[in-house]
Amino acid sequence: MSQRTIAEKISCTGIGLHTGAPVQLTLHPARVGSGIVFVRSDLAHPVEIPARRDSVTSTVMATTLGRGDATVSTVEHLLSALYSLGVDNARIEVDGPEIPVMDGSAASFVFLIRSAGLFDQNAPRRLLRIRETLEVRDGDRAIRIEAARSLRVTYSVDFAHPAIGRQSLSDVEVNGDTFEREIGRARTFGFLREVETLWRNGLGRGGNLDNTVIMDDHRVLNDDGLRWSDEFVRHKILDLIGDISLLGVPLAGHITAVRGGHALHQALVEKILANPHAWVLEGGDADTAALEHLPVGAPAQASA
């Protein structure tokens, strides 16, 4: 498999889910081995923020990346689309502190990437292949990864709400077709009773019925209802894919998550990076910016 970028630059505008502020986003093609890099283009001196685990500054209600005083939040939906469509290298300029929420899913970003086109580059991809099972537990929450031929996800959620309850999806293979068909259109969700608390904490200011599935104590308030009866667990898988992409390299392994969230997703990324004996890097050259955060001496082998 070759590394991939987008064929041409493309832009969109929207508002931030948590800031409520208008923002413009522009995706640019990027050179081989550069990885996914966010750029705060609105600052006096633009700041580059690599999409990697060591850039994570917060996992409260969204995944936020930062470098120095510059941050960009709610990156997971865009990253999920880029990862699932196989985009390894891209430069993402954003003129504010948050990625636009669009309709609350990754569908708009899939459309954006497809419209720009995909371009296969003259360099092989790296692949991080799990060899030994790794697990993180936090009370009744847990996440595990074990060996598999490709990235697969099994996810379960359990909310004490009549519109959600217990939902699960098993053995979802992460690829462009499956993502577009089964995962990418699943929207973020929230509860009406939490809105005032979010506002007091400077969050959720851009959320509305056009970009969020909102529930009172009994039902979904959106006039168009749900896109799937289990849209909630599908959105959790969407978030997980975006969060796990912060490894900075494609992943082969089967992830099983129970009652997960951004913090638990990042705990798994940390666990993987801290245990290089449990995985192997296959294919390509290791001397790339996208891989410089991987543990020194991480095992590698040429792909067949």
pLDDT band at 295 (very low <50, low <70, confident <90, very high): confident
pLDDT tens-digit readout, 42-53: 999 999 999 999
Class level of CATH domain 2-124: alpha beta
- Every domain of the chain and the residues it spans: 2-124, 127-301
Class level of CATH domain 127-301: alpha beta
**What value does the mean pLDDT take over residues 256-272?**
98
Name the catalytic one among 18, 254, 262, 265: 262
pLDDT tens-digit readout, 197-226: 887 777 788 989 999 999 999 999 999 999
Q: What is the pLDDT of residue 289?
A: 66
Question: Is 262 an active-site residue?
Answer: yes
Given a cut of 70, whether residue 304 has pLDDT beyond it is no
Lowest mean pLDDT among 12-16, 31-35, 193-197, 249-253: 193-197
Q: Whole-model pTM above 0.85?
A: yes
Which residues contact residue 6 at a Cβ distance below 8 angstroms, ignoring those fewer than 6 apart? 27, 28, 29, 87, 90, 113, 116, 117, 118, 119
Is residue 81 within 8 A of residue 106, CB to CB? The reply is: yes
Given a cut of 50, whether residue 300 has pLDDT beyond it is no
Angstrom distance (rounded) from CA 207 to CA 100? 11
